[in-house]
Amino acid sequence: MDEGKVYLVGAGPGDPKLITVRGLECLKASDVVVYDRLASPRLLRHLKPGAEKIYVGKLPDRHTMKQEEINQLLVDLALRGKTVTRLKGGDPTIFGRVGEEAELLQQNGIEYEIIPGITSAIAVPAYAGIPVTHRDMASSLSIITGHESPEKLDKSIHWDKVTNATGTLIFLMGVAKIGYIAEQLIRHGKSPNTPVALIRWGTRVEQETLVGTLASIEQQVLEANFQPPAVIVVGEVVKQREKLKWVERRPLFGTRVLVTRARAQASELADSIEALGGEPVEYPVIELRETTEENAVAAIMAALGQAEQYDWLMFTSTNGVDYFYTWLQKLNIDIRRFHKARIAAVGPKTAERLLERGLQVDVLPVQFQAEGLLDSLEGVLEAGQHVLLPRGDLAREVLPRQLAERGLVPVEIDVYESMLAEEDDQLVVELLEARQIHIVTFTSASTVRNLMEKLRRAGVADPVQLLAGAAIASIGPLTSAAAREAGLQVDIEPEQATIAALLQAIADYRSKARGE
């Protein structure tokens, strides 16, 4: 068997989007990823299907695997022909012990690459509004480990030289030793009034910053029960924070949001959450696919084969638009055969998707649901008109029923099927159990039903109780009704049933919760 290859990758400081392009490429190509707790678990979503995940992270009170064992694990995996990514928090060359891992790989003749990462030493202060250098305050910096015992610190750090060697001092992994570090810096010449900042879980949704002085910081840490991991910044640059802090000013700072939409649709909502400073957790509960049921396919073929007869094309979702075109292409039917038909869409996103296809919508309701569409069509619809409704298999029957009551001839075709997504993610359950998901979003009644079912299949005895620790955000009245039927309390519902309105409602809710 050919030997594999090992990529020693810096994952960045925590925000999964701060991984390098090369690091992400290596991750996607891997058969196995060996990772620790400082690497964002969201990065694991980029693994190819079937890739193995091995956690070797170190916790403050215990080590899952000794460093020597990790080194040997990388060798063993590569000798089995595996392409391996060793995913390490921050930059692997800064207190990441990458040299030890690479040395053993070299000794065993295994090919490897070291992929630098954005170090927490500069990124975490930046996310707290602290530039580690400043023309008027600090033109140099030192990066120092604070993890060792005081005896080891005294052996590895020349306090008399380090204390005033550079304008800014950065200590990594030193929260537990903050008192000793402050004492040594004061003893060797730093003013007790020197500003200090501790930034915990920087660049992540849990980011928390504590600011004090060398004289006060130990007591502040004890009073706040400030826990690691954190980056310690010592120097005048800390004063920049009050002017430059930017992350905390974003509307969804500190907010983790569960996105339950189908994966193909989730990116828009997830990207918008990130743009507002929140952290989306994608947990698709719906999987969409082209209709395969024999009778449904026959109905599609028959309906589309009579394109010239329709007076109206009515679309109730972007998915309906996409799969309608999929079937046109599959059956080799020219859209121009629908030249007689006027076009109606339930919402602006559906109208935008049609416009992308070169089709202008004739009717767009003010209320973005089936009832609103019918209200907008009053005086326009005529008895005897034929209406084609390309929809999903779970679409509501309100629209076709009311069209028929008005004397029209609705023709429904199920152009796609909605399935319960099979993808499991135990991390989501763990986050919900730890009350670390702040808002759960629902964009349709089926996302409500499917989330409850997926949680049950994941072994959750009482999904309602599990979700009680998070606010429930529903896109509109119909989805809210399904949530209440499932036993959930709806906390957020926008006036308009659109993603943009839902995001604004979520931002308003969080602002109110923070007392802003």
Question: Cα-flanking dihedrals φ and ψ of residue 284, to 5°?
Answer: -60, 125
Residue in 31, 88, 173, 349 annotated catalytic: 173
Contact of 400 with 287, CB cutoff 8 Å: no
Does an H or E element contain 127, and which? helix 120-127
Q: Give the whole-angstrom CA distance, residue 253 versus residue 203.
A: 10
- How would you list the strands of the sheet with 386-392, edge to edge? 286-290, 409-420, 386-392, 312-315, 342-345
- How would you list the strands of the sheet with 32-35, edge to edge? 52-55, 32-35, 83-88, 5-10, 111-115
Residue in 36, 91, 414, 425 annotated catalytic: 36
Q: Give the whole-angstrom CA distance, residue 160 versus residue 142.
A: 14
Contact of 33 with 27, CB cutoff 8 Å: yes
Question: Cα-flanking dihedrals φ and ψ of residue 196, to 5°?
Answer: -135, 140
Question: Cα-flanking dihedrals φ and ψ of residue 374, to 5°?
Answer: -65, -40
Residues in the chain: 516
**Residue 424 is a catalytic residue:** no
From 276, 202, 279, 299, select the one nearest 241 (Cα to Cα). Answer: 202
**Residue 58 is a catalytic residue:** yes
**Residue 36 is a catalytic residue:** yes
Q: Give the whole-angstrom CA distance, residue 366 versus residue 376.
A: 8
Known catalytic residues are 36, 58, 173
